[in-house]
Amino acid sequence: MNTTEFINRIDQILKFHDLSASVFADTIGVQRSSISHLLAGRNKPSLEFVLKVVTSFPDVDLYWLLFGEGSFPKKAKAAPIEEPESKEVVKNEVSHADFPRSEAIDKIVIFYSDGSFKSYSEKGS
């Protein structure tokens, strides 16, 4: 991480949000002198400082702040398109002829994309 470029990115955040260094320090929860020393190049940013910035300002991308990669303000990620839930329940009778094995089906488990599952058995559990 280049400290000079990091300081420039902090300046961009201050200008974008129209904040003074002291208000910025108060917002992220650090001492005002910490910001002053950082902006003057006397101190390097700590991991705690960086995390406070990205936590306090959701439009700041971590990789942009550290390395200048990406963009500021951070582009919102598009929400995934969800398929509408079907209200129609289709029941199909399944016979043993549909399966090459001779064993009876004991349980059917359906796994959903969110990691949950539903288990069906002849016993109703």
pLDDT above 80 for 8: yes
Q: What is the mean pLDDT of the chain?
A: 80
31-46 pLDDT, tens digit each: 999 999 999 989 899 9
Question: Does residue 32 fall inside a structural domain?
Answer: yes
Question: Does residue 51 fall inside a structural domain?
Answer: yes
pLDDT above 90 for 54: yes
Give the percent of the chain with pLDDT over 70: 73
Number of domains into which the chain is organized: 1
Question: Does residue 124 fall inside a structural domain?
Answer: no
Question: Does residue 116 fall inside a structural domain?
Answer: no
80-122 pLDDT, tens digit each: 556 556 556 556 666 656 556 666 677 787 777 777 778 777 7
Residue 26 structural domain: 3-67
Question: Does residue 84 fall inside a structural domain?
Answer: no
**Euclidean distance between CA atoms 125 and 105, whole angstroms:** 14
pLDDT above 70 for 11: yes
DSSP the chain: --HHHHHHHHHHHHHHTT--HHHHHHHHT--HHHHHHHHTTSSPPPHHHHHHHHHH-TTS-HHHHHH--S-SSPPPPPPPPPPPPP---------GGGSSS-SPP-EEEEE-TTS-EEEEETT--
What is the predicted pLDDT for the residue at 12? 93
Residue 30 belongs to domain with CATH number: 1.10.260.40
Question: Does residue 54 fall inside a structural domain?
Answer: yes
